């Protein structure tokens, strides 16, 4: 942290704990020394190293064990003075992801709610009519109060276009939700600013459309990100209503995008869950996979595999982390192996099924996924092993062309000899090597994928309006 703990300020850690696009907000009880009855994130005095103290606070205030939380990022400290208390605070913000919503409150709080972070920006807007621009999700927060500078602290750790572009750890489905969170957060702030700056739907639309375009450019190979951003903007445009209606004018712009983004996040989470559930139905025996797909992880947790083999997935090596996760979550044996051993594993280990995710499914049924998927599918076809691709329908691309991303040269070779290096991040698996594509709608026959692509293509019309 850049702010020293040796000054006279009061340093505290504040952790935003996120699950399925929402964060847990806690109401401070009479047992704490300041800000009684106000809502905040997990917080406490920074005693020693803030990076260590924040984990202690999360465990003490929520009951979440250290292995149940995953640090996303820390942010620049927020420094401010509370004149009423005669105290200067330095807030060290953090963002953590969790897979559960089971929270055990300590005596420091007397209530909790999971909510979209944008309620922080719009909280205290006055009566419900004033807050209604933020939609029904935000109405309940109109008369509440948060601890000072809570939104500023959240902004320091919130997802951004840059963080999405640079993320090489998470799959396309997760990054698509992060993209919707970026749209949601900006729309929520614009809604909050209406009280001071007035209503300017056209200006808000232009700003949010430009942001949406930047998100589309951040990960051009990820169809799911493109489709979900396009749906949010298309729904917002459709529900804004006629400019002749005063109510519609007020709702147009930021409020419409805010509501559509929140609905899009909820829809995305449900779709990914549905795809995993359909694919898990009847999943048993010995399974092989590679790279990281949260949808595939959920599928394996819901299914009944007898053993799971995971390719290490170089150069990122995320398959090793997946193997460790599965070893903690499943009762069956887990084996991690080199990427080069994929054909050997398929031939010698009596594999019953290959299960992989997808970054993109092309209209002809071919699949864009982490490099190594093509080789795994070809080897599986040679040995008569069925290949299941698990993905939401939003991963079906509206385009025939493929924009394959590449990793850094140094990830493969950092020596000084003048040799060329190839480090493709994705490859394309032919449709005839894929046995089934399982989505939230169930298994989609190859001949019907183009029709779904047509549905998604219609969502792009917002860019012409």
Instruction: Specify the higher pLDDT residue, 173 or 276.
Output: 276
Query: How does pLDDT run across 397-425, given as a tens digit for each residue?
Result: 999 988 787 888 888 899 999 999 999 88
Rama region for 21: left / alpha / beta (φ>0; ψ in -120 to 50; rest): left
pTM of the model: 0.84
Query: How does pLDDT run across 300-353, given as a tens digit for each residue?
Result: 999 999 999 999 998 889 999 999 999 999 999 999 999 999 999 999 999 999
Going by pLDDT thresholds of 50, 70 and 90, the confidence category of residue 135 is low
Q: Is the pLDDT of residue 3 over 90?
A: no
CATH class of 9-158: alpha beta
Average pLDDT rounded to a whole number, residues 60-73? 96
CA distance 369 to 17: 30
Give the CA diameter of the chain: 74
Query: How does pLDDT run across 350-394, given as a tens digit for each residue?
Result: 999 999 999 899 999 999 999 999 999 999 999 999 999 999 999
Q: Of 10-19, 97-106, 246-255, 409-418, where does mean pLDDT reach its minimum?
A: 246-255
pLDDT above 70 as % of the chain: 93
CA distance 105 to 60: 8
Q: List the one residue out of 253, 265, 325 whose CA is nearest residue 294.
A: 325
How high does pLDDT run on average in the chain?
91
The residues near 135 (Cβ < 8 Å, ≥ 6 apart) are 255, 258, 259, 262
φ and ψ of 184, to 5 deg: -60, -50
pLDDT of amino acid 136? 62
Instruction: Identify the DSSP state of 33.
Output: S
Q: Is the pLDDT of residue 139 over 90?
A: no
* CATH superfamily membership of 281-397+423-464: Translation initiation factor eif-2b; domain 2 (3.40.50.10470)
pLDDT of amino acid 404? 83
CB 280 within 8 A of CB 330: no
- State the DSSP H helix or E strand holding residue 4, giving kind and residue range, or none if neither: none
Instruction: Specify the higher pLDDT residue, 188 or 138.
Output: 188
Average pLDDT rounded to a whole number, residues 244-265? 80
pLDDT of amino acid 170? 85
CA distance 400 to 369: 15
- Tell me the residue length of the chain: 465
pLDDT of amino acid 126? 46
- Tokens at 55, concatenated: 């984990």
pLDDT of amino acid 456? 97
Query: How does pLDDT run across 195-207, given as a tens digit for each residue?
Result: 889 999 999 999 9
Average pLDDT rounded to a whole number, residues 167-192? 92
């Amino acid at each position: 942290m850049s702010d020293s703990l040796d000054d006279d300020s009061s340093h505290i850690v504040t952790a935003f704990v996120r699950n399925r696009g929402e964060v847990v907000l806690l109401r401070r009880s009479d047992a704490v020394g300041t800000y009684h009855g106000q809502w905040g994130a997990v917080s406490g005095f920074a005693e020693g190293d803030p990076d260590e103290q924040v984990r202690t606070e999360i465990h003490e205030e929520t009951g979440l064990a250290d292995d149940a939380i995953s640090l996303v990022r820390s942010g620049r400290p927020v420094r401010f003075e509370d004149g009423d208390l005669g105290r200067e605070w330095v807030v060290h913000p953090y963002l953590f992801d969790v897979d559960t919503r089971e929270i055990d409150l300590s005596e420091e709080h007397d209530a909790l709610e999971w909510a979209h972070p944008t309620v922080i920006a719009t909280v205290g807007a006055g009566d419900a009519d004033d807050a209604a621009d933020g939609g029904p999700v935000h109405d309940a927060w109109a008369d509440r109060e948060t601890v000072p500078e809570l939104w500023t602290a959240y902004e320091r750790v919130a997802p951004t276009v840059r963080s999405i572009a640079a993320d090489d750890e998470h799959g396309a489905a997760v990054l698509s939700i992060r993209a919707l969170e970026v749209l949601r957060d900006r729309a929520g702030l614009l809604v909050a600013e209406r009280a001071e700056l007035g209503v300017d739907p056209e200006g808000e639309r232009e700003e949010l459309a430009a942001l949406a375009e930047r998100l589309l450019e951040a990960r051009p190979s990820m169809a799911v990100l493109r489709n979900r951003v396009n749906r949010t903007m298309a729904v917002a445009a459709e529900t804004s209503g006629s400019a002749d209606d005063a109510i519609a004018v007020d709702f147009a712009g930021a409020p419409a995008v805010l509501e559509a983004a929140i609905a899009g996040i909820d829809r995305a989470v449900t779709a990914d869950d549905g795809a995993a559930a359909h694919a898990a139905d009847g999943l048993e025996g010995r399974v092989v996979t590679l790279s990281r797909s949260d949808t595939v992880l959920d599928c394996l947790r819901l299914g009944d595999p007898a053993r799971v083999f995971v390719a290490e997935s170089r150069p990122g090596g995320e398959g090793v982390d997946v193997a460790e996760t599965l070893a903690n979550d499943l009762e069956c044996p887990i084996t991690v192996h080199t990427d080069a051993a994929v054909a050997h594993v398929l031939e010698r280990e009596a594999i019953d099924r290959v299960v992989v995710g997808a970054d993109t499914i092309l209209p002809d049924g071919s699949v864009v996924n982490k490099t190594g998927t093509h080789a795994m599918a070809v080897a599986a076809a040679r040995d008569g092993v069925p290949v299941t691709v698990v993905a939401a329908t939003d991963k079906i691309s509206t385009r025939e062309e493929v924009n394959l991303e590449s990793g850094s040269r140094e990830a493969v070779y950092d020596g000084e000899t003048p040799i060329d290096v190839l480090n493709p991040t994705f490859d394309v698996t032919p449709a005839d090597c894929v046995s089934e594509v399982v989505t939230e709608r169930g298994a989609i026959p190859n001949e019907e994928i183009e029709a779904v692509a047509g549905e998604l293509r219609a969502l792009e019309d917002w860019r012409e309006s």
